[in-house]
Amino acid sequence: MTLTVQSRFRGPTTSGNGGYVAGRLAARAGDGPVTVTLRTPPPLETPLAVRPAAEGGGVELLDGSTLVAVAVGADSEGDLAAVEPVAASEVAAISAGYPGFTAHPFPECFVCGPDRSPGDGLRLFPGRVGDGRTACAWSVGADVAGSAEFVWAALDCPGGWSAPIEGRPRVLGRITALVSGVPSAGETCLVMGALVGTEGRKTWTDSTVYGADGRVLGRARSTWIALA
C-alpha cells in the first residue's frame, strides 16, 4: 500500500503540508482521535509505503528505509479543547491582519500560503485576536468538501500562527486530532487557533474548525518545532 503527496499539497516548497499528510495517514489508523508524529519532511510526488508500525500499533509512512511519519490511535480526546470562537462579524477584520501577508516562511503553503490562488490552496489567513488566539474563515471548495484530510489540513496552520512564526519559522512535529464532521461545498467555516505554550524549540497550540452552523468539525493539539 502506498501514499503519494501531490505537489499541490505542499507546505514548504519541497515537502507536504504536515496537517494534510497527517490526515491522509490518520485515515489508515482507525476511528477516534489519532496522533501523527512527523519524523522528516514528507517528500512530494513520491510513492511512500504505508505499513503496520513496528511497535505500539498504528501505521508507518516510509520513503524507502526512511521513516517519514507514524500514526497511532490516541488514548483519549481529553486534551483536545475547543478554542473559543470569535463572532462571525469579527472574522474578516481579524483575518485582514494576517502576518503572513507581509512575512511568510512558506508562502506557497497549501493551507495558509498567500501565493496560492483561489481553488488551488485553502487560503486560510489566520489573523491574531490579541489574546493568544487566531481566527480566519475557510470558504470550502467542492474539491475539498466532504473529506476528513482537509479538516486535518485546516487544523494545522491556524494553530501555528498563534506563535510568531514569521520571525522564527516552525514546522509541525506532532498533531493529535479528532475529526467529527466534514464541511459541505460552499460552506464557510470558522477556524480558530490558540497558543498553549513554548519551551525551547517546541511550541504547543490548539485549533478548532467550526461549521457554518457552529458545529465542531475538528479539534487538535499540535507540537511545533522551530527550525533554528
Residue at 202 is within a domain: yes
What's the pLDDT at 223?
97
Q: In this structure, are 213 and 102 located in the same domain?
A: yes
What's the pLDDT at 31?
83
Written as nine digits, the cell of 157 is 496552520
Please return the burial class of 127, using the count of CB atoms within 10 Å of its CB with bins 0-12, 13-18 and 19+.
buried
Identify whether the C-beta of residue 59 lies closer than 8 Å to the C-beta of residue 1. Answer: no
Range of the domain at 208: 88-226
Kindly report, residue by residue over 81-104, the tens digit of the pLDDT. Answer: 999 999 999 999 999 999 999 999
Q: In this structure, are 14 and 101 located in the same domain?
A: no
Q: In this structure, are 52 and 117 located in the same domain?
A: no
Residue at 214 is within a domain: yes
User: What sign does the dihedral 10-181-22-154 (CA atoms) show?
Assistant: positive
Residue at 22 is within a domain: yes
Kindly report, residue by residue over 64-79, the tens digit of the pLDDT. Answer: 999 999 999 987 666 7
What's the pLDDT at 160?
96
151 SS3 class: helix
Which ranges of the chain have pLDDT less than 70? Answer: 76-78
Q: In this structure, are 68 and 95 located in the same domain?
A: no
Written as nine digits, the cell of 151 is 479538516
Identify whether the C-beta of residue 20 lies closer than 8 Å to the C-beta of residue 61. Answer: no
CATH of the domain at 156: 3.10.129.10
Residue at 79 is within a domain: no
Q: pTM for the full model?
A: 0.96
Q: How many CA atoms lie within 13 A of 43 on its CB side?
A: 12
**Residue 107: left (phi > 0), alpha (psi -120 to 50), or beta?**
alpha
Q: In this structure, are 27 and 111 located in the same domain?
A: no
**What is the number of domains present in the chain?**
2
Q: In this structure, are 13 and 57 located in the same domain?
A: yes
